[in-house]
Structure 1
Amino acid sequence: MGRVQEIRANYDREIITVYQAYSKAIALPAIQNNKFEAPFSFHRMTWIKPSYLWLMARSNWGTKSNQEYILAIKITRAGWEKALSLGVLTDPDIAIYKSGSVWKQAFENAKVHIQWDPERTLKGAKMDIRSIQVGIGRDLIKEYNEEWIQEIVDLTPLTRKIKDLIKKGKYKEAKRLVPDEKVYVVSESIQQNIGIR
């Protein structure tokens, strides 16, 4: 396929960190209470990403409207792997789905969507490595919020500091502050389910 699809994340034996960007109205209560509440929507899919730099490219380092706060969300690995096991790819991969119609039916009924996007460098350039983002559907959002989430950390000050260093051309200093991520190995069944080769 010419491209590598792998999960890279900051994790330990129990916890994996994923990232989301939100407005002040959603972020501040979440940081205070270690869970989300309205105006966070429990009725539509919420996307979580274990790649910090991918989210930086998406949110333009927390400068896009309603993405000003960068949150590190520490969730249980059990919850994360449950999401992956329920995931259906956003594109029909012929190595996984027998036909387009089989994929379409699975996708429409899926509680979790899986998408692979180009990983990003510190400067925002696309890489050959594909990074995962996981869409938690409304059937699972309550469980995600109340059972999987262990802690929500405000990374907005760190993000601003890294952004400022990049602006000054201090890439080595900036890189040292980026959250450390390594390959997250999953079972063979999950690999087959989400298209890791």
Structure 2
Amino acid sequence: MLTLAPYLAQLSAWPSSGRHILAQFDADSIVVYQAFRAEIAEEAVRLQRFGRGFSLGRMSWIKPNFLWMMYRSGWATKTDQEHVLAVRLRRAFFERLLGCAVRSTYHHEYWPSHEAWQDAVRSSDVRLQWDPDHDPSGNPVERRAIQLGMRGATLREYAGPAILEVVDMTDFVATQRVLARAPYAELTVPTESIFEPVVVRYAKSAREAWPPS
């Protein structure tokens, strides 16, 4: 079960800039979000894992930040993103994603050559992006939000063994959508705080993307 709190009550506790993983988590789990068309989402909720409608043949992206998911899905109004799922994952699995993630774009300050980065991309099942976070109205803020893309064996693990719970957030999103305009006095969102990975040994690519400062 997800915990919820007023948006404005949480805003003052969130950093206004920098790269941060904002998420709902505990010692054993972390919540991430994805948006799908109805049949994929409904099947996942019923099975408590992803079923046949979920594509294992392409990169799939997860977002631990609820408002980042709301921005990307237009508060569940974009085509094929009308149903929002909260997926509670094993924390150890999420930590492992961070440990083997490779940035999705080449940065010369992190890699000796473009070819070296391409080799890392080919050898890893996980991509990492830091993108501008957004307020509830969709306006960009200085803070950066993380999203992680998965493929191959890692995606297959995500689709089933890594999942502890699948929650349909669609009705909740619909009730909050009409409140997602300034001054946000009545807007409620899942509680989130800064997630600090306990993994201390990272793959080279993840060290270059982490820590976020």
Query: Scaled by the length of structure 1, what TM-score is found?
Result: 0.91
Task: Measure how far apart 1:84 and its partner are.
Answer: 1.0
- 1:194 pairs with 2:209: yes
2:137 aligns to what? 123
| Aligned counterparts of 1:68 and 1:146: Cα–Cα separation in 2 | 22
2:193 aligns to what? 182
Task: Measure how far apart 1:194 and its partner are.
Answer: 2.5
Q: 2:78 aligns to what SS in structure 1?
A: coil
The 4+ residue runs of structure 1 with deviation greater than 6 A are none
| Aligned counterparts of 1:82 and 1:76: Cα–Cα separation in 2 | 10
Superimposed CA distance per residue, residues 12-67 of structure 1 (whole angstroms, 9 cap, x where no aligned partner): 11110000000011000101111011121111111100011111111100011110
Q: 2:54 aligns to what SS in structure 1?
A: coil
Worse-matched range after superposition: 15-24 or 42-51: 42-51
Between Structure 1 and Structure 2, the one with more helix by share is 1
* Structure 1 residues not aligned, in runs of 5+: none
Q: How does 1:1-197 map to 2 (within 5 A)?
A: 4-166=18-180, 171-174=184-187, 177-186=188-197, 187-190=199-202, 192-195=207-210, 196-197=212-213
Q: Percent identity?
A: 33
Q: 2:39 aligns to what SS in structure 1?
A: helix
| Aligned counterparts of 1:144 and 1:178: Cα–Cα separation in 2 | 24
Superimposed CA distance per residue, residues 135-190 of structure 1 (whole angstroms, 9 cap, x where no aligned partner): 011221221122111100011111001102236x661211xx11111111124544
Aligned residues: 192
* Structure 2 residues not aligned, in runs of 5+: 1-16
- Read off the aligned partner of 2:75 and give its amino acid letter: W
Query: Scaled by the length of structure 2, what TM-score is found?
Result: 0.84
Task: Measure how far apart 1:94 and its partner are.
Answer: 3.5
- Read off the aligned partner of 2:185 and give its amino acid letter: K
Task: Measure how far apart 1:8 and its partner are.
Answer: 1.1
- Read off the aligned partner of 1:192 and give its amino acid letter: R
| Aligned counterparts of 2:200 and 2:29: Cα–Cα separation in 1 | 20
